[in-house]
Amino acid sequence: MKASIFLSFFLLVTLLAAEMNPNNSVRDFWFNGAEINRYDLTQARYGKLHSGHAEFIFVTEPFLIQEQVKHERGPGNSTDVLKLNALRTFNTGIYSYRTMTSTFRPIDLESYPHALKTTTSVQDWCGQAFQQINRRENGWRAEVRSYFQNEGDQTIEINDVWLEDELWLLIRLDPDKLPIGQFQALPGSLYLRFAHKPHKSEVAVGALSSDKSERRYTITYPALKRELRIYFGAQFPHIIRRWEETDAQGTTTAILKNRIMNSYYWSENRPSDNKKRLQLGLEPIAD
């Protein structure tokens, strides 16, 4: 109990220290390794609530604009992006779910009003599904791959609308640029996969509220009877502290429990590095 109270207090102090530094800027903060966040997850699925965990990994990288892949070598027209790898792990009864959404959002918000790419994969004991959405000149192109007969393999053209997946990154970069009022949006990729909904834009309503220490962004889809509420720090770097998502399955919730900044996790790949998972409240052996 004492250890749990200490960890909670330490996390709160860390969050406040990060958010109260007025000298932070986007590049000063983000170009120093990755930020890893672990959340306690309660996932609504099949009309029931299931315990799990979620990880949000934010990291910058150069990104080729035309090819829309990481710029690793050679010439090419690229821009710096903030990438979010959002993972969820939970069980439904006897079997497991693993999901991941990767979204690539240019840091230059003026030149690039939208993300360039987002991908989502879902694996469970029944099978797997994958989708990729790429930015095009006049909108988006989605490719869907699924083992379900009604979904199969599809390529879909989508108008120039907001992607729900890109809004998480806009919160971290400049939440005052979030869409407010009524607008057209493509619901989150994970929601579309779980609900088996078609890839088409929906009428959405955005609202942004705040107090001294916290802000909340709410996006509501009246036709879907779905609402997403994201709570984040009022000051830069706008750390996402928790979120709630309500739809026909129930209400999914996630609460930030652990956070590591300036991590170069991709180089910490030896067996001896397993113990570092404990800093995130995860078991040393991959689960």
Q: What is the pLDDT of residues 161-193, one digit of tens each?
A: 999 999 999 999 999 999 999 999 999 999 999
74 part of a folded domain: yes
Of 9-18, 42-51, 230-239, the poorest mean pLDDT is in 9-18
Mean predicted lDDT score pLDDT of the chain = 91
Class of residue 124 by CB neighbours under 10 A (exposed 0-12, middle 13-18, buried 19+): middle
Q: pTM of this prediction?
A: 0.90
Phi-psi bin for 93: left (phi > 0), alpha (psi -120 to 50), beta?
A: left
285 part of a folded domain: no
Residue 193's DSSP bridge partners are none
286 part of a folded domain: no
Of 190-204, 234-248, 267-281, the poorest mean pLDDT is in 267-281
pLDDT confidence of residue 63:
97
pLDDT bucket at 21, cuts 50 / 70 / 90: very low
166 part of a folded domain: yes
Q: How many domains does the chain have?
A: 1
160 part of a folded domain: yes
Residue 114 belongs to domain spanning: 2-280
115 part of a folded domain: yes
Whether the predicted pLDDT of 60 surpasses 50: yes
Of 34-38, 144-148, 149-153, the poorest mean pLDDT is in 149-153
287 part of a folded domain: no
Locate 53 and state its tokens.
Answer: 């965990």
More confident call, 14 vs 163? 163
Residue type, 140: W
60 part of a folded domain: yes
